[in-house]
Amino acid sequence: MFKLNETKFLNANEIYFLLFPIAILLRSAALNGYIILGAIFFIFNIKKNKKIFSLLPVKILSIFIIYLILISFNAENISQALKSSISQIRFLLFMLFIVFLDIRKDRFPLIFFFFSILIYFIILDTLWQYFFAVDFFGIAADPVTNPNRLSGPFGKELIVGSYIAYFSIPIIAFYFSRIKNTTTSENVYYISFAIFSFIAILLSGERISLLIFLSSICILLFIYLDKIKLIAILVSLVMTIIFAYNYNQGVKNRFNNFRDDVVNFKNSNHGKLFSSAYIVWKKNYLIGTGLKNYRLVCNSLYNDNFIDKFTNTKIVCSTHPHNVYFEVLAETGIIGLSFFLTFVVLSVILFLKNKKTIKNELSPLYYSSLIILFISYIWPIKSAGSFFSTYSASYFWFYYGILLMCIKNSNPEKI
């Protein structure tokens, strides 16, 4: 697919960019090391890049992090809240480092191809686990504790669907953007990649990841393809889902459970967790409980046999409320939520205002990053992992940094 001279001389910035999905795959220690390394490099170049702090979203984000640190001293577990709040600084610096990565436009095809090879391997590993109960590394699915779910190489963590979705979307966007100029071998490779991505996410049992993937593909199809191809692909996706629902019991069970949760939201686990976050927030309207303290306050209420009036049952708790906005509300209060919403609104305005000025070679990366952030994080009516955790936050700030990087490379005077 690539000539020999096109594969030479990746610079350090491009190699760092390529290592992100590998860092996530290796999990906490490697991922934290990767993020901290980027943060340190940005600090060394902060004087040269200080103009970035003039952007309103970056200003608000910086104030929000300072606010998180200050309210930690009012938390039930001060050390836990303070540690988590201070650790958010590394995400800010990591994101700013991504903005200033020097990635040459003629290297994007190679970078996307390398990304696709890694994700293809994870896809095949997950499908192998589906058919043979263990993946390539001997990691078994867990039919007892988590029936109808796959984990691929992530062991007990059921995140393989989100991993495939978050990285396959930019790759598919890249393919759509240049579909008129691709060779037959490239068409076969990327079409099969998209199909197997969809199947692996579907079989993983991660319903939100499937919705994110399908919604993103629909938007990308609308942006890059004509109506006939759009309709044909959408019909194929719908037919595949119908087939899987009728002939795969695991998929059928997950879809039925999802339907039941939506219809009977009040008594669903997510409904109960959202309600518990609201109850915890009422303990301190203004500044919340502090980061990582929702679980402590909620567990305290649970131990006191607190009855949730919304569900008329004993309060239900977890490590986090499984919704970004309820998590921010419960742990940072109405003041913190105001900062966060201001950051979100200003960011959306900035990204939408600049989308027409993005260079063609950057458009697939820009649109896919914007779609991932909006559907996965900003859209309020969905469940989500903890926004302040390493795994979830790393995706958000990586793609947020990419959006600013695209703006900077297309309009250098703005950043």
Q: In a structure prediction context, what are the per-residue pLDDT tens digits for the chain, which is 415 residues long?
A: 444 344 457 889 999 999 999 999 998 899 999 999 999 999 999 988 888 999 999 999 999 999 999 999 999 999 999 999 999 999 999 999 999 999 988 888 889 999 999 999 999 999 999 999 899 999 887 766 677 789 999 988 899 999 999 999 999 999 999 888 888 999 899 999 999 999 999 999 898 899 899 989 888 988 887 766 667 777 777 787 777 767 677 777 767 776 766 667 777 888 899 999 999 999 999 999 999 999 999 999 999 999 998 888 899 999 999 999 999 999 999 999 999 999 999 999 999 999 989 988 899 999 999 999 999 999 988 888 899 999 999 999 999 999 999 999 998 887 7
pLDDT at residue 381 in the model? 81
pLDDT at residue 1 in the model? 44
Q: How many Å apart are CA 119 and CA 94, to the nearest integer?
A: 23
Query: What kind and span of H or E run contains 248?
Result: none
Q: Read off the pTM.
A: 0.92
Check if the beta carbon of residue 208 is closer than 8 Å to that of residue 382. Answer: yes
Among 46, 174, 41, 153, smallest CA distance to 110 is for 174
* Phi-psi group of 147: left, alpha or beta (phi > 0 → left; psi -120 to 50 → alpha; rest → beta): beta
pLDDT at residue 253 in the model? 75
Q: How many Å apart are CA 163 and CA 154, to the nearest integer?
A: 10
Q: Where are the domains of the chain?
A: 109-263
Q: How many Å apart are CA 391 and CA 372, to the nearest integer?
A: 15
Check if the beta carbon of residue 224 is closer than 8 Å to that of residue 201. Answer: no
Task: Give how far Cα 123 sits from Cα of 29, 120, 202, 308, Å.
Answer: 23, 5, 11, 41
Q: How many Å apart are CA 288 and CA 84, to the nearest integer?
A: 15
Tokens at residue 369, please? 């990053």
- CA 26 distance to own-chain centroid: 17
pLDDT at residue 2 in the model? 40
Q: How many Å apart are CA 338 and CA 336, to the nearest integer?
A: 5
